Amino acid sequence: MNALHTDLLVVGAGMSGLVAAATAAEAGARVLLVHAGLGSFVYGAGSISEAPGGAAQTFFQSLAEAAGAPYHEEAQLPTMLGSTQPMALVPDALWGGRALPGSRVAVVGVEGMSSFDSRFVVERLGQGYVARDIALPQEDGVPHSALNIANRFDRDSAFRRLMAERLRQAAADCDQILLPACLGQHSNHSDLLIFAAEVGKPIGEMTTLPPSVAGLRLNNLLMAHLRRLGVEFVGGYPLAGLEIENGVCHGVSVAVPGRARNISARAVVLATGPHSHDLLPGWSGKADHLLRPLDGQGNVMLKGLTLAGALLAAGNGHAVTSGHAAALSALAQEESHAA
């Protein structure tokens, strides 16, 4: 990690950070992404309640498609609380569980799993839904959780076959299957299609308590795609601070144990989430139209730095819009510096 240098440095691996990195990489820039952990994908499945619209949405949908995790528009999604939530953009795995008129849906739980109850969900969802449970063998006496089922789904084809068989039996009299998100951390769109074909029914996942398997899977697919685009990742270490000289951000320092390592860049996108105001002393919490941070007087306080994601406002829709725009803005500024 000595003397790392890049064109665009993105900090943060949540939705906005990944979109920013992909935007810059597709524009031909050399991109390095620094992240402390997994970002917001541990907590949520990546559904978007308000459509980003415009070029950002077009970009994002083709990015997700290429990563093997396509999104669909407009759906009412059932939740683990037995309510439904309207969503503007939905990952494919969840979209399979959207409410369809006249469809008889089997809500399928796993016997013994503490964090999901099919009867509870069905009782609240009402007509058109029936509760079923499947029995799966425990591994080493470990209680079932969505995450450990997902891990076995990923590595054990016999387990996958057994699961498909049990699901087929449980939902024999139904048109559609809803189950807690657990179909692997690495399965892409076609893996899930193959599994659904084996079961013989369309399958939709429901979001669960964290860690969200659907979110982790989306994260894994997007990261793998970004690597293919040439993005480099430096993961596991929190940011120590920004490297600033004469009002220009030249990079960051990363808190590697025992020392701080510098990474220099022509421009930086900060996408570190809602609780990182400490990185920008004197920041007003606002950004200008180019997503540069503004001080209390409304002046751009730093050059070479743009902001994205929940640092500015909540929501995955905003994460997509601002991630895309922050990368384009950073690249444009960098060019104007160079000129």
Partner 1 sequence: MDRTQVVIIGGGATGAGILWDLSLRGISAVLLEKRDLANGATGRCHGLLHSGARYVVKDAEAARECLSESRILKTIAPHAVHDVGGLFVRYPQDDPAFFPQWDEACAKVGLPTEKLSPEQALELEPNLPKTILGASTTPDAHVDVFQLTLSNLQAAVAKGGRFMPYCEVTAIEQSNGRVTAVRFTDSRSGEQDRIPCEMVVNAGGGWAQAVAQMAGLDVPVRCDKGSLLVLNHNLVSRVVNRCRKPGDADILVPAGPVCILGTSSITVSGPEGLTADSEELEHLLALGAELVPLMAEARVLRVFSGVRPLYVPKDAGGAAGRDVSRGFVLLDHSERDGLAGFVSIIGGKLTTYRLMAEVTANLVAKKLGVDAPCRTAVTPLRAATDPALAAKVEKLLPAQAAAIAERRLGPDLARLVELIEADANMAEIICECEQVTRAEIAMLMSSEALVPAKTINDLGRRSRLGFGSCQGTFCGYKAMLEGYRHGLWSAEAGAEEFKRYLNERWKGQAQVPHGKQIEQLSLSHDLFGPTFHFHAGEGV
Q: According to CB under 8 A, which one of 62, 85, 262, 284 is a site residue for partner 1?
A: 85
Nearer to partner 1, 106 or 265 (CB): 106
Binding region for partner 1 (CB under 8 A) out of 98-106, 169-177, 285-293, 313-321: 313-321
Q: According to CB under 8 A, which one of 28, 54, 112, 285 is a site residue for partner 1?
A: 112
Does 209 engage in binding with partner 1 (CB under 8 A)?
Answer: yes
d(CA 69, CA 217): 9
Does 45 engage in binding with partner 1 (CB under 8 A)?
Answer: yes
d(CA 121, CA 180): 11
d(CA 333, CA 176): 50
**CA 290 and chain centroid, separation:** 24
Nearer to partner 1, 61 or 85 (CB): 85
- Residues β-bridged to residue 279: none
Distance in Å, CB of 16 to partner 1, minimum = 12
Q: Pull the structure tokens for residue 204.
A: 């939709």
Question: Using CA atoms in the order 311, 312, 316, 321, what is the torsion angle rounded to 10 degrees?
Answer: -120
Does 246 engage in binding with partner 1 (CB under 8 A)?
Answer: no
Q: According to CB under 8 A, which one of 6, 47, 220, 333 is a site residue for partner 1?
A: 47
Spatial CA neighbour of 15 closest among 7, 5, 23: 23
Distance in Å, CB of 141 to partner 1, minimum = 6
d(CA 319, CA 86): 18
Binding region for partner 1 (CB under 8 A) out of 116-124, 158-166, 192-200, 228-236: 116-124
DSSP state letters, 140-188: TTBPP-HHHHHHHHHH-HHHHHHHHHHHHHHTTT-SEEEEES-S-SS--
Give how many residues touch partner 1 by CB under 8 A. Answer: 37
Binding region for partner 1 (CB under 8 A) out of 22-30, 56-64, 136-144, 301-309: 136-144
State the DSSP H helix or E strand holding residue 306, giving kind and residue range, or none if neither: strand 305-307
Nearer to partner 1, 141 or 257 (CB): 141
Q: According to CB under 8 A, which one of 61, 191, 315, 332 is a site residue for partner 1?
A: 315
Distance in Å, CB of 206 to partner 1, minimum = 9
Do the beta carbons of residue 13 and residue 39 sit within 8 Å? Answer: yes
Does 320 engage in binding with partner 1 (CB under 8 A)?
Answer: no
Does 58 engage in binding with partner 1 (CB under 8 A)?
Answer: no
Q: According to CB under 8 A, which one of 35, 98, 132, 144 is a site residue for partner 1?
A: 144
- Through-space distance between the first and last CA atoms of the chain, rounded to whole angstroms: 30
Does 219 engage in binding with partner 1 (CB under 8 A)?
Answer: no
3-state secondary structure of 51: coil
Binding region for partner 1 (CB under 8 A) out of 81-89, 222-230, 286-294, 329-337: 81-89
Does 23 engage in binding with partner 1 (CB under 8 A)?
Answer: no
Do the beta carbons of residue 27 and residue 4 sit within 8 Å? Answer: no
Does 119 engage in binding with partner 1 (CB under 8 A)?
Answer: yes
d(CA 23, CA 55): 11
One-letter amino acid identity for 106?
A
Does 103 engage in binding with partner 1 (CB under 8 A)?
Answer: no
3-state secondary structure of 103: coil
Distance in Å, CB of 132 to partner 1, minimum = 16
Residues making contact with partner 1 (CB under 8 A): 43-45, 47-49, 77, 79-83, 85, 87, 112, 114-117, 119-121, 123-124, 138, 141, 143-144, 207, 209-210, 212, 274-275, 314-316
